[in-house]
Amino acid sequence: MNPESPDLKRLFLAVFLMTALLMAYNAFFGPKPGAKVVPKPEAVPAVPVAPKPITAPKIEVANTPLITRELAKTVSESVAVRGGYKALFSNEGARLQDWDLQGYQESLDLTPEFIAQSRDGNLTLSDKTRYELVSADLNSIVFQKITPENIRVTRRYSLTDKPFVVRHEVEFTNQGTRPQVLSIDMVMRTLESHKHNEDQLAAAWHVNDKHKRFALKDLEEKPETAPNGPKYVSFDRRYFLMTLAPENNSQIESAKAEFFKANQQKGLTLKLQAKTMQLEPGASQTLGFSSYLGPKQLELLQTAGHGIEENIDYGWFGVLSRPLLWLLVYIYNWVHNFGIAIILLTVLIKLLTFPLTQKSFASQQEMKKIQPELKELQKKYSHDKAALGQKQMEFYKEKGINPMAGCLPMLIQMPVWFALYQMLGNSVELYEQPFYGWITDLTRPDPYYVFPVVMGLSMLVSQWVIPPAIDDSQPQMKYVLWFMPLFLTFIMLNLPAGLSLYMLVNNLLTIAQQVYVRQLSESKA
């Protein structure tokens, strides 16, 4: 086989593309590691010998009833994908117990909590500490607790005018007569939902001008520590984000991300470890934080600040994904159905690439016509491979044919395919958006595999309409070409239905274009 043969080059290109797709499939859908290492329980700090810190927790639990309060806020639909949220606060730990985003079919289980606790045991303060409810109105709530060490701890939450942003602070006041040394952790934790795959939950932070993301399965093997105070820490739920950003970064010395398990549910904990503070009698110190708890919508993340928009990552093809998303949303605003918007976007992309693909299909038709002459040339120079390669290239040039043009449609389609995959898999705008019939969420796989199977059949029809010219001396090319539709169908079974819809419509338009090219070629013959 001539190593300079264009057919062989096409074979290598096809194999390369198939291998790349297979590697991508294994990366996203490969088997999960079997053995899981559960981290050892954290050692409980030694409690001071003084009787007050030991007995106080029992007294405060008995004397302070459990109280919850709900605050709600509406977000304009012109600003957010879906508007509004409800926040449920509990005086146990003065925590944000539940953050419920409105307008979604399924509960999202956003439970950031935001617990302030003592790191060294010098202060009787934990996630079980019950606070007194001082005040509450439509947009704010205040809790307070005086610890056995005579430290007044005040927790304030306020729902801000920034969509899905809550500001909260922890104030420590020394009401005693002697100095106090406090080491405080601000803790955020959440559980993985049974409705989602565990690889959708991850922790992330921004430290030393770098954004780092840790999947749940990675933290299950070992915790991660940031040696310096991060700009923010966050829980990433693929389409939703929960962040904790210190207003004064100089007060934070480090951060830690850990895995935990509660009642067979997997979860993650993020700790912002504040620098040790020394409070003189009567002195106060406040730790302030800002948190975004909402959809990963670019405009909203930019409004929230702290650079959290970097959590929307479309990978290498982000340069295509972002304009495609903008165009898709623009079309949706006209047709009010993302499935129809995907179809219209596919038609638009096809029109833009029509001149290039038209030349490619025309070149394939010409290749079929010159096959008899090409075979004669191959027979004549079969004894001299170098001469055969040179004569073939001269022959193609004489006929005005580019033998590599047949690969052009695939090369054009692949970047768009990957860009759409990243967009559909990471854009909350399409989350829970239906098409028609059984397709109730375009970001999830087709439950009955109709679109992937029909898409694979359409690829076979496309090859039947204009069969690629294949040298009889290279029968392996036939297997490659017929295997590709089966291979892509298998991959598409677990990919978003919106992507299968795009591929199907694109193939149908390709078939129509191929029929047109064949008729045009036959009319010229």
Q: How many residues does the chain have?
A: 525
Q: What is the pLDDT of residue 365?
A: 62
Amino acid at position 176, single letter: G
CA distance 81 to 84: 10
Q: What is the pLDDT of residue 42?
A: 42
Provide the 3-class DSSP secondary structure of residue 186: strand
Residue in the structure block whose two tokens are 């935990």:
260
Tell me which DSSP letter residue 57 carries: H
Segment (H or E) for 510: helix 497-524
Going by C-beta distance under 8 Å and a sequence separation of 6 or more, which residues neighbour residue 54?
47, 48
- Topology classification of domain 31-313: Beta-galactosidase; Chain A, domain 5 (2.70.98)
Contact between 109 and 87 (Cβ < 8 Å) = no
What is the Rg, in whole angstroms, of the alpha carbon atoms belonging to the chain? 31
Domain spans in the chain, listed from the N-terminal domain onward: 6-28+318-524, 31-313
Contact between 303 and 163 (Cβ < 8 Å) = yes
Q: What is the pLDDT of residue 477?
A: 59
Among 149, 111, 145, smallest CA distance to 128 is for: 145
Among 44, 169, 180, 65, smallest CA distance to 116 is for: 169
Tokens of 32: 């999960």
Query: Model pTM?
Result: 0.76
Provide the 3-class DSSP secondary structure of residue 201: coil
CA distance 260 to 358: 57
State whether the Cα torsion 164-219-260-289 is positive or negative.
Answer: negative
Q: What is the pLDDT of residue 106?
A: 77
CA distance 185 to 252: 9
3-state secondary structure 433-449: CCCCCCCCCCCCCCCCC
Tokens of 458: 């359409």
3-state secondary structure 97-162: EEEEECCCCCCCCECCECEEEECCCCCCCCCCCECEEEEECCCEEEEEEECCCCEEEEEEEEECCC
Tokens of 308: 């959290």
Mean pLDDT per 10-residue segment, the chain (525 residues) = 42 48 47 38 41 38 79 82 88 93 80 91 89 93 94 96 95 93 93 64 91 91 89 92 93 93 87 93 95 93 93 83 90 93 92 74 65 71 72 71 60 76 83 91 91 90 67 58 81 88 89 77 63
